[in-house]
Amino acid sequence: MPRGGKRSFVCRECGYQSPGWLGHCPQCEQWGTIEEDLTPVAAARPTGGKGNDRHGAGVAVAAPVPVSLSEVTFDTGDRIDTGLGEFNRVLGGGLVLGSVVLVGGEPGVGKSTLLLQALLSMEGRGVSTLLVSGEESASQVKLRSVRLGGGSSGLRLVTETQTEAVVAALEQLQPTACVVDSVQTLWSSAIGSTPGSVAQIREVTAQLLHTAKTNGIALILVGHVTKDGELAGPRVLEHMVDAVLSFEGDRAQPFRILRAVKNRFGSTNEVGVFQMAEQGLIEVPDPASVFLEEGDMRSGSVVVPVLEGSRCLLAEVQALVAPTNFAMPQRVARGVDRNRLSMITAVLSRRARLPLSNCDIFVNIAGGLILEDPAADLAVALAIASAFRDGDAGRGMAAFGEISLTGKVRYALQSDKRIQEAARRGFERILVPGRNAEEAAKAGVTPSGMKIEAVIDIADAVRRNSG
């Protein structure tokens, strides 16, 4: 292989490059992720989306002619409707011809189902489609299509894992939309390493990207994620593609969220919500309260309106506090960051004088939702305080606000949206940060039948909640 005699090494997780092998990646702090970079020199050249000859290394090239921005035309009518409104929404209005979208998610979350549904719908509307399946056999895909009600669809299927063959198929069949499931199963004969390695993933993606751009194909790549939720393979993959979508959800729960992590053709501020059912994924166009548990709320549970993109969802924080049997009390968090939980617990102990140091604390977000909105802090704190006292305070109450180390409850963004959503679901009380309460009063947005209570700090909030 023409490598100029130099070996180089690259981290499988973050793409960090090093001249020698290392057991520990200094960039992403992972162990055992550095491997030899077997990309041939010509193939390792940066491949943008310009459709130039990637293998023309060393050939004299003419200077490109610039165009004036005012002369550039751009047609938004070129988007293809995927047939799933929630999917279109996250994409920014549909698939763009000549673009490459990466859809990541844990195994079993429903990536193949979502994309097969989209392909079947597009095929049914006369869009020419192709499914490249490197993971499932033709009969498995057929079985799934039957389940999704598209058993007799004309959708074309190729079960192939060699990239050069896939590229040849794309060039010959010229589909308008194509799904490759998954990018990790593909391999290229240009590279010596095994499928799924950094060099392979990068080469496979570069070849597919080039083909999609030059042939105007809307290409969707499926990518697996690691246990930590990162896309397996180097970050470079995220830089190469036009959009990165993440499909999330607890497999044991019916609801799934599709989120744009990166989008060159739309906002990353949108999420799509789906429900996994017998006949595949069903869209949930009004997801505000689907994550709440049915029936009466009990002690240790507080609802928080969280922002997910431009939408507001109601999330139910559930907590259980019990005397510990261990020297080190347990802190178990599902759906909230564990470090965040430790911080909130410490603030509750110090600033609200709750003796939690001898208690195990378990926090769970109902419905498998993962909260990243810092305004969920107050609800987490109140759920723990309520569980600690085992009273039934919290019933019919919602709260939001970020908690600082001093115990102060800090201003949250878009309080009007949060308050409206809680009111719509019938909450009668909502605890909000002081400045948000002032803002609501000024704007006159208090919905009828709802009491907005300003809280100064965590001790004040806990006191109000126990009343």
Residue ranges binding ligand TYD (CB under 6 A): 105, 107-113, 144, 147-148, 276, 278-280
Beta bridge partners of residue 245, listed in sequence order:
103, 260
Whichever of 85 and 107 has its CB closer to ligand TYD, that residue is 107
Here the tokens at position 74 are 């751009």
- Non-local (6+) Cβ contacts of 51 within 8 A are 210, 213, 214
Whichever of 112 and 299 has its CB closer to Mg ion, that residue is 112
Give the HSE-up count for residue 401: Cα atoms under 13 Å, Cβ half-sphere. Answer: 27
Whichever of 15 and 105 has its CB closer to ligand TYD, that residue is 105
Here the tokens at position 138 are 């033709």
- Non-local (6+) Cβ contacts of 160 within 8 A are 132, 134, 166, 169
Q: Give the length of the chain.
A: 467
CB 351 within 8 A of CB 459: yes
Q: Which does 464 bind (CB under 5 to 8 A by kind): ligand TYD, Mg ion, none?
A: none
Whichever of 275 and 324 has its CB closer to ligand TYD, that residue is 275
3-class SS at 77?
helix
The b-or-e profile of 115-148 (16+ CB within 10 A means b, else e) is bbbbbbbbbeeebbbbbbbbbbeeeebbebbeeb
Q: Which does 147 bind (CB under 5 to 8 A by kind): ligand TYD, Mg ion, none?
A: ligand TYD
Whichever of 182 and 415 has its CB closer to ligand TYD, that residue is 182
Give the shortest CB-279-to-ligand TYD separation in angstroms. Answer: 5
Q: Which does 15 bind (CB under 5 to 8 A by kind): Mg ion, ligand TYD, none?
A: none
Q: How far apart are CA 272 and CA 264, in angstroms?
A: 17
Q: Which does 399 bind (CB under 5 to 8 A by kind): ligand TYD, Mg ion, none?
A: none
Give the sign of the dihedral formed by CA 13, CA 16, CA 20, CA 25: negative
Give the shortest CB-86-to-ligand TYD separation in angstroms. Answer: 16
Position 133 contacts Mg ion (CB under 5 A): no
Whichever of 113 and 345 has its CB closer to ligand TYD, that residue is 113
Q: Which does 92 bind (CB under 5 to 8 A by kind): Mg ion, ligand TYD, none?
A: none
Whichever of 136 and 460 has its CB closer to ligand TYD, that residue is 136
CB 315 within 8 A of CB 308: no
Q: Which does 113 bind (CB under 5 to 8 A by kind): ligand TYD, Mg ion, none?
A: ligand TYD
Whichever of 96 and 116 has its CB closer to Mg ion, that residue is 116
- Per CB under 5 A, contacts with Mg ion among 286-305 are none
Give the shortest CB-137-to-Mg ion separation in angstroms. Answer: 12
Give the shortest CB-143-to-ligand TYD separation in angstroms. Answer: 9
3-class SS at 88?
helix
Give the shortest CB-227-to-ligand TYD separation in angstroms. Answer: 15
**Residue in 33, 39, 82, 112 binding Mg ion, rule: CB under 5 A:** 112
Give the sign of the dihedral formed by CA 131, CA 135, CA 137, CA 140: negative
Note the residues at the interface with Mg ion (CB under 5 A). Answer: 112
